[in-house]
Amino acid sequence: MRKLITLIFIFGLLLSSVAQEKSMSKSEIQTFKENVKASAKSITTIKSDFTQYKHLDILSNDIETNGHMVFKSPNLVKWQYTKPFSYSVIFKEDQLLINDDGTKSNVDIGSSKLFKNLNELIISSIKGDMFIESDFNISYLKSNTYYKATFIPKEKAISNYIAQFELLFDKTNAQVFEVKMIEPSQDYTRIVFKNRVLNTPVSNAVFTH
């Protein structure tokens, strides 16, 4: 009986947590977008730790990796994975620079509209400045602690790879603290940022092999 009561209590908490998300009114959406854009406009650099969770339906547990992300305006991004393996990816102009534990390679993304769009999505997600109604169907929710924007790509070239993605914004500073990218198969990647530092000097040398 005690176990049953505990399960009912936990289930009730879960339902309460889900119910906390509510649709935003038009005026709330407008204010939210203005706050996010104002915050993004003030950002020149970002340094942040992150934990990435890769969910695959065929696996019982998510694949967890840890690393560090560096962004420098307008379009330099480096993802440095440190645990459980060493791997880095740099988006630089029209190049994707990869360092797989010392094995280096370059990929030209300039000729691929898909890679260009994905790169723009990544940069915009980091900055939280991506409310482009012409490219996405966007819905907005709120909870007691965060705002949530869900984006469904209108372009088939993107939707073939990303069915939708979700951004969670901290209510106190209108900055993104979690990104979730859902594939058409419903597998997904969830990235949670922490220890974020804004607008400190970042050398361009960071964005080299």
- Contacts by residues 147-150 (CB-CB < 8 Å, ≥ 24 positions apart): 147/24, 147/32, 147/171, 147/174, 148/21
User: Which residues is 78 bridged to in the sheet?
Assistant: 70, 90
DSSP state of 188: E
What is the structure's pLDDT at 147? Answer: 95
User: What is the pTM (predicted TM-score) of this model?
Assistant: 0.83
C-alpha distances (whole Å) from 101 to each of 82, 85, 88, 105, 137 are 10, 8, 8, 11, 39
Q: The tokens of 175 are what?
A: 């900055």
Q: How far apart are CA 174 and CA 31, in angstroms?
A: 11
pLDDT digits (tens, 9 = 90+) for 184-193: 999 999 999 9
- The share of the chain scoring above pLDDT 70, in percent, equals 87
